[in-house]
Amino acid sequence: MKYLQAGDRIHLVDRKDRHYALTLQAGETFQFSGERIPHDDIIGKPDGTMVQLSTGKPMLAIYPTLAEYTVKMPRGAQVIYPKDLAMITIWADLYPGARVLEAGVGSGSLTMALLRAVGDRGQVTSYEVREEFAKTATRNIERYMGVVGNFKLRIADIFEGIHQEDLQPGLFDRIVLDLSEPWQVVPHAVQGLRCGGLYLSFVPTIPQVQQTVSALEETGSFGLIETFETLLRTWNIKGRSVRPDHRMVAHSGFITVARKIDVGVLVSEEPRQEGEESQRIESTIMEDQESNVEKT
């Protein structure tokens, strides 16, 4: 059983599933809407225990999951939502022992997901150009994960290239980018990513995706390029009342994935002419209509 300890970052959760983050400190008091509870009344209790505020209001005291923590943690930059963190870790095919290059640390949410995925045997090297973001990210990471030995944070501009000392142990297995102009990193990815390794970038708009994909294709060193977005809709289940929630986390960004390959292995198809594409669509529609007529 795990117990809540002084110095730990925990969440108090009310009956409406609202989360309130706090760091436990002996002698301190948590206050909310005129109600309070001493931290000493929480310290030493089991994770997942129910505690009562001064008026008797019950709240659940828990260690937050990574998804819960990232939403409530202090931020210097916009964080990547948990729904996208989950997709990034799978589509980048992160695994224990992988060497990962990250750029655009922001508040550290993606960095923590990467560190968890590569495990103690892996290595995450992160580039962040803004020192204030790097400090916020470091605090967030250490507050949740402690001091991590396999994490290197470099205050540098990845657009200028990958430092040679970061490549001394060998090329990276994965490159993961949360930047506004990831296409500027593509030439460096060609040099720093091993053959068969994966490139992934996360951007909010289609014009950014278009420039990124064009840059990947122009190198001749990347294939199997895919782009997608994730829409998350939760459901309300209360007895026989079953309905989707009124709010959902819809578009947050586009994920583009590509695999480093030998130059010239894959040759992209010639783009269809606009007229040819229209004829293909019309032909498909006609075939479907004829099929439906035959069935009736």
Mark whether 77 and 181 lie in a shared domain: yes
Beta strands at 172-177 and 99-103: parallel, antiparallel or unpaired:
parallel
Q: What pLDDT score does 282 carry? A: 53
95 touches 72 (CB < 8 A)? no
CATH number at residue 54: 3.10.330.20
Q: Looking at the 3D structure of the chain, how many domains does it have?
A: 2
pTM attached to this predicted model:
0.83
- What is the domain extent for residue 129? 68-260
Q: Are residues 152 and 206 in the same domain?
A: yes
Q: Within this chain, do residues 59 and 201 fall inside the same structural domain, yes or no?
A: no
Domain boundary among 49, 64, 79: 64
Burial class of 160 by CB neighbour count within 10 A (0 to 12, 13 to 18, 19+): exposed
The helix (H) or strand (E) run that includes residue 106 is: none
Query: Considering only CA atoms, which of 107, 89, 98 is closest in space to residue 125?
Result: 98
Residue 124, exposed/middle/buried by CB under 10 A (0-12, 13-18, 19+)?
buried
**Residues 20 and 157 placed together within one structural domain of the fold:** no
DSSP run (H or E) holding 282:
helix 274-295
Q: Say what the pLDDT of residue 43 is.
A: 95
First to last CA, the chain: 64
What pLDDT digit, counting tens, does each position of 21-60 carry?
999 999 999 998 888 999 999 999 999 999 999 888 999 9
Reduced to 3 states, what is the DSSP secondary structure of residue 83? Answer: helix
What is the model's pLDDT at position 293? 47
Whether residue 31 is found in the same domain as residue 117: no
Distance CA 195, CA 222 (A): 9
* Residue 279: per-residue pLDDT: 56
- Integer Cα distance of 288 and 31 in angstroms: 64
Distance of alpha carbon 274 from alpha carbon 9, whole angstroms: 56
User: Are 190 and 221 contacting, i.e. CB atoms less than 8 angstroms apart?
Assistant: yes
- Three-state secondary structure call for residue 264: coil
Q: Is residue 54 part of a domain?
A: yes
Is residue 49 located within the same domain as residue 172?
Answer: no
Q: What gap in Å lies between CA 253 and CA 165, rounded to an integer?
A: 32
Domain-located, residue 51: yes
Strand order of the sheet with strand 49-52?
A: 19-23, 9-13, 58-62, 49-52
Tell how strand 123-128 and strand 151-155 pair up: parallel
Give domain status of residue 287, yes or no: no
- Other beta carbons less than 10 A from residue 29's beta carbon: 12
139 and 243 both lie in a single domain: yes
Which phi and psi angles does 73 have, rounded to 5°? -75, 155
Average pLDDT per 10 consecutive residues for the chain, totaling 296 residues? 92 93 93 90 94 91 95 85 95 97 94 96 96 94 92 95 91 96 96 96 96 96 95 91 89 95 62 52 53 50
Q: What is the reported pLDDT for 288?
A: 54
Helix axes 82-91, 109-118, angle to 10 degrees: 40
What pLDDT, on the 0 to 100 scale, is given for residue 290?
54
76 and 57 both lie in a single domain: no
pLDDT in tens, 93-112: 999 999 999 999 999 999 99
Radius of gyration of the chain (CA): 24
Output the pLDDT for position 30.
93
Angstrom distance (rounded) from CA 107 to CA 46: 29
